[in-house]
Structure 1
């Protein structure tokens, strides 16, 4: 099971940063980061919010590793794109529509795999 520190370390690596640069950007001492790694302490609530915001992840994921449920907005796309959207959808073949659905599922799967590492 991953700790908060493990997830922070993963985010640092994914961003291609050094731990020192991460500490500088977020105003964290390297000693505090070391304490988090050893389990001696954990980041404050304010610092967790700051870290989640910096990396663009949810607090749920950062704290417990839980993927945020995706919310689906059920609105008419014409609200935003007018008739262009309907024309684009009508121009797609069923095979193309199926490909797009599969691609969306694939990207969700890959994203989940990245979080599970």
Structure 2
């Protein structure tokens, strides 16, 4: 089995299309197709992206030796492993959690910036933003 076939195995395990998979590792679907068929060899950044995003062993990808997975699960507690398992099996849920996380991080930064600029606590900034949102939603109703 060549590296491209191992890449295809990883993609199949995650039930992703070539388009979805290539987007997650930052390459074009055409390049992924060439990799999977053995027409092209993956660059080191692609291999590292696979290792990072999918927990795949670099040595297994390149040489076909050793364990397929990097054992990041050993560092997780039982609850974290369970959540990770659920997210790996449910793409829609994964996307929802990812989007919510991004919004949370963005809002956290916004609250911090707002509280710094007008010299109020983050709690007061949250109350202010919530009130502004309520006013906006009420004004749209009229």
**TM-score class, shorter:** 0.5 to 0.7
Q: Structure 1-normalised TM-score? A: 0.52
Superposition pairs of residues 29-40 of structure 1, within 5 angstroms? 29-40=28-39
The residue aligned with 1:52 is 51
Provide the secondary structure at the position in 2 that maps to 1:12: helix
The residue aligned with 2:4 is 5
Q: CA RMSD in A?
A: 1.3
Larger radius of gyration: 2
For structure 2, the 5+ residue unaligned runs are: 68-142
The residue aligned with 2:102 is none
| CA displacement, residues 79-98 of structure 1 (integer Å, 9 cap, x when unaligned) | xxxxxxxxxxxxxxxxxxxx
- The structure showing larger relative contact order (alpha-carbon pairs under 8 Å, at least 6 residues apart) is 1
Q: Structure 2-normalised TM-score? A: 0.44
Structure whose residues are more often helix by fraction: 2
Provide the secondary structure at the position in 1 that maps to 2:39: coil
Q: Which runs of 4 or more aligned residues in structure 1 lie more than 6 Å from their structure 2 counterparts after TM superposition?
A: none
The residue aligned with 1:67 is 66
Checking the alignment, whether the CA contact within 8 Å between 2:5 and 2:37 is kept in structure 1 is no
The change in CA–CA distance for 1:46 and 1:9 in structure 2 (over 3 A counts) is same
The change in CA–CA distance for 1:57 and 1:38 in structure 2 (over 3 A counts) is closer
| CA displacement, residues 58-97 of structure 1 (integer Å, 9 cap, x when unaligned) | 11001111114xxxxxxxxxxxxxxxxxxxxxxxxxxxxx
